[in-house]
Chain A
Amino acid sequence: AQSVTQPDIHITVSEGASLELRCNYSYGATPYLFWYVQSPGQGLQLLLKYFSGDTLVQGIKGFEAEFKRSQSSFNLRKPSVHWSDAAEYFCAVYLMDSSYKLIFGSGTRLLVRP
């Protein structure tokens, strides 16, 4: 069965430091992968997605993610974190049964130290 794992429940970084949030998936074929961000009290906003092509994907707010098939990973990165990046981040993959259902990871909460 398809699954998405985000091994870090919480991550704390200092403002201005670099960030990497981990995401691993299990899926036999080429997955369609997403990163969403959820600020407190808000809905989910799409940061970026990977369907095919270049394995380094650029998103909004200065985020990028790299698809690594050999490691079944789709880690999210940002070179310099801002205090406004404090939020919860979800990795997700389309369930490939043509239903467009998303399988979500459990999320990583990012805390930013001033």
Chain B
Amino acid sequence: DAGITQSPRYKITETGRQVTLMCHQTWSHSYMFWYRQDLGHGLRLIYYSAAADITDKGEVPDGYVVSRSKTENFPLTLESATRSQTSVYFCASDSGREQFFGPGTRLTVL
């Protein structure tokens, strides 16, 4: 099915653990984005990518790492999770005319 998918949909982890959130799109869009959504803050951009092997920081990049070895995948890694990274994470890809969002990953860091 065409679209943008995220996995896992729900994740519980402990402080200090490494966690990777996956994002996959089937359209071959060049641009992809990672956001986090928190009450009172709306959606904030973590990282984005203009193409394979090209990534750049957004508004709140600290504590996160991204890679983009293939156009269709854009994983987000929390190298050492902290409680403040408990959030809902959304991946998106852009067609040049609009952004398409994945269903989100709800991450809880205990």
* Chain A contact residues, CB within 8 Å of chain B: 34, 36, 41-46, 49, 51, 90, 99-102, 104-107
Smallest CB-CB separation from A41: which chain B residue?
B104
Interface centre among B31, B33, B43, B58, by most chain A C-beta atoms within 10 angstroms, is B43
Task: Provide the residues of chain A in CB contact with B33, threshold 8 Å.
Answer: 101-102
Give B12-63 interface residues, CB cut-off 8 Å to A.
31, 33, 40-43, 45, 48, 50, 56, 58
Q: Is the CB of B101 within 8 A of A44?
A: yes
**How far in angstroms is the closest Cβ of chain B from A39?**
11
The DSSP consensus for interface residues of chain B is strand
Task: Provide the residues of chain A in CB contact with B96, threshold 8 Å.
Answer: 100
**How far in angstroms is the closest Cβ of chain A from B74?**
14
Q: Is the CB of A106 within 8 A of B101?
A: no
Q: Is the CB of A43 within 8 A of B99?
A: no
Jot down 15 A-B pairs with beta carbons below 8 A, ordered by A: A34-B99, A36-B101, A43-B102, A43-B103, A44-B92, A45-B101, A46-B100, A49-B97, A99-B50, A99-B56, A101-B33, A101-B48, A102-B33, A106-B41, A107-B42
Q: Is the CB of A43 within 8 A of B58?
A: no
Q: Is the CB of B42 within 8 A of A106?
A: yes
Task: Give the distance in Å from the alpha carbon of A30 to the alpha carbon of B104 in the complex.
Answer: 31
